Amino acid sequence: MSRPAVVDSVAALRARIRDWRRDGLRVAMVPTMGALHEGHLSLIRIARERAERCVVSIFVNPTQFAPSEDLDKYPRQLARDLDMLATARADLAFTPTVDAMYPAGFATRISVGGPSAGLESDFRPTFFDGVATVVAKLFLQATPDYAVFGEKDYQQLCVVRQLCRDIDLPVEIIGAPTIRDAHGLAMSSRNAYLGEAELQIARQLNVVLRKTAAALAAGADQKDTIAEARRTLIAAGFHTVDYVEARESLTLGPWRHDRAGRILAAAWLGKTRLIDNVEVPTA
């Protein structure tokens, strides 16, 4: 199976999409930072179900990394990524450089409130500004009808939806279920950093979150249940727990038992930070 075509300039991207539009074809986009895995491929398959053409962006976005984070060591493996895109039948890979996305003199950032409050923002205060800025640029560059984001990054998904609503970006945002390994660990490019012993610990994150969600659904006290989840993660071998919180599913505001909810968590194994979330079951 042949690799998708590759373009690295906005002009070339727009030219290709103009040709598709001229033929009456719908366009779906899957924004990624590369280091693709089965989770990404599942997004592309969903995109292909919605539209006749799928463009995948591969861009390690520097504006969503703080100076202390892993921008330099974030895995970059374009040749392997393109081979994987071929198996998922992506039509086009957009691989811009940093200079193409943020040319000299670039001075604009987009800040989204609402669902960006707390959770990741408490520990990565510039993260969602970087996400919102790059996503807005990608949508204006590619003008997709649809864009697919994984629920694994649930707060990011909510922020992108808020962004599109607030500034009238005509893109339908599709949330895709989290893809997990056979042990329930959410697939992530950063899993490659983990050794075998750390993987065994990492696989407990989803187990703890599901037990916590089930307890809350059964009426357990929220404060006590969340505190127990944090203690259990530390006992399992996580070095630090940034947060475990119950939030309302749509707005990420405070959760009450009569509303659809999510349990979201972030925890550290050595130098690797893992995030995950699960739905609170409803009756």
pLDDT tens-digit readout, 202-248 = 999 999 999 999 999 999 999 999 999 999 999 999 999 999 999 99
Question: What does the pLDDT average to over 179-192?
Answer: 94
Indicate if 115 and 79 belong to the same structural domain.
Answer: yes
- Using the 8-state DSSP alphabet, how is residue 64 labeled? G
Residue 36 marked ligand-binding: yes
Cβ neighbourhood burial of 238 (10 Å; 0-12, 13-18, 19+): buried
Question: What does the pLDDT average to over 125-150?
Answer: 98
pLDDT value, residue 1: 74
Q: Of all residues in the chain, what percent carry a pLDDT higher than 90?
A: 92
Residue 64 marked ligand-binding: yes
Residue 33 marked ligand-binding: yes
pLDDT value, residue 68: 82
Question: What does the pLDDT average to over 166-175?
Answer: 98
For tokens 């995948």, the residue is: 56
74 Cβ neighbours under 8 A, 6+ residues apart: 33, 35, 60, 65, 189
pLDDT of residue 265 exceeding 70, the answer is: yes
Buried b or exposed e, range 96-132, using 16+ CB within 10 angstroms: beeebbbeeeeeeebebeebbbbbbbeebebbbbbbb
pTM: 0.96
Task: Establish if 181 belongs to a structural domain.
Answer: no
* Structure tokens given for 108: 């604009």
- Domain CATH code at residue 13: 3.40.50.620
Indicate if 172 and 224 belong to the same structural domain.
Answer: no
Chosen domain end from 131, 149, 176: 176
Indicate if 151 and 172 belong to the same structural domain.
Answer: yes
| Position 187 confidence tier, pLDDT thresholds 50, 70, 90 | very high
Q: Is 160 within 8 Å of 149 (Cβ atoms)?
A: yes
Indicate if 164 and 201 belong to the same structural domain.
Answer: no
Question: What does the pLDDT average to over 254-278?
Answer: 95
Residue 239 marked ligand-binding: no
Residue 242 marked ligand-binding: no
Question: What does the pLDDT average to over 176-181?
Answer: 97
Residue 56 has a CB neighbour count (10 Å cut-off) of 29
CA terminus-to-terminus distance, the chain: 46
The boundaries of the domain holding residue 43 are: 5-176
Residue 40 marked ligand-binding: yes
Angle (CA) 253-268-205 rounded to 5° is: 70
Residues marked active site are found at: 40
Indicate if 130 and 215 belong to the same structural domain.
Answer: no
Residue 150 marked ligand-binding: yes
Task: Please provide the size of the chain in residues.
Answer: 283
Q: For all residues of the chain together, what is the average pLDDT?
A: 96
Indicate if 32 and 152 belong to the same structural domain.
Answer: yes
Q: Encode pLDDT of 79-109 as tens digits.
A: 999 999 999 999 999 999 999 999 999 999 9
| Position 74 confidence tier, pLDDT thresholds 50, 70, 90 | confident
183 Cβ neighbours under 8 A, 6+ residues apart: 203
Task: Establish if 182 belongs to a structural domain.
Answer: no
Indicate if 159 and 213 belong to the same structural domain.
Answer: no
- Choose among 79, 117, 102, 84: nearest CA to 264: 117
| Position 114 confidence tier, pLDDT thresholds 50, 70, 90 | very high
pLDDT of residue 69 exceeding 70, the answer is: yes
pLDDT value, residue 283: 64
